[in-house]
Amino acid sequence: MNIALIAHDNKKNDLVQFVTAYQTIFSEHNLFATGTTGSRISEATGLTITRFQSGPLGGDQQIGAMIAKNNMDVIFFFRDPLTAQPHEPDVTALVRLCDVYSIPLATNMGTAELLIRGLAEGFLEWRTIVAQKNSEIEER
C-alpha cells in the first residue's frame, strides 16, 4: 500500500517515534513524505521514503495529487492544532481530498495507533480492490 507521512513542525518528533515503533509494519509498504518529515523518518529508521517538497512549498499538494488519482491508500498526518500554519488552505484541501476519495487519515497519535493496527491486520485490503478497479478503468 502507498502510505503518506506528514507532520507539522511541532509534531515531527511524535511521527518519527511512531514510525520507529511500527517500523516493521511500515517497511512492508511504499512510503511517501513531505520534505523534512521524510528526511527525519528515513534517518531514524533507515526506511526508504519517496520525498516531496516541504508542505509550505507544495508537498501537501503533491500528495493531494496522488490522492486525486487514487494512488494513495493511507495518510498519517500529525497536525498541530495549536499553531497557525501559513499553508492552511493546502492542509484543508488535503483533508477534504481524503474525505472525497475515502482515504483513511490519522491526524493524531490515537487515531494513528488504530489505523496502523488495522493495516497490520489487513483491515485496509479494500484499498487494493479500489486500486484494481481504477487500473481496469484506466486501461480502457
CB 86 within 8 A of CB 55: no
Question: Shortest CA distance to 103 belongs to which of 138, 65, 52?
Answer: 65
Q: Where in the chain does DSSP place strands (E)? A: 2-7, 30-33, 49-51, 74-78, 105-106
One-letter amino acid for residue 92 of the chain: T
Q: Could you confirm whether 60 is annotated as catalytic?
A: yes
Q: Which of 9, 60, 80, 99 is catalytic?
A: 60
Question: Shortest CA distance to 133 belongs to which of 67, 65, 75, 70?
Answer: 70
Q: Which residues are catalytic?
A: 60
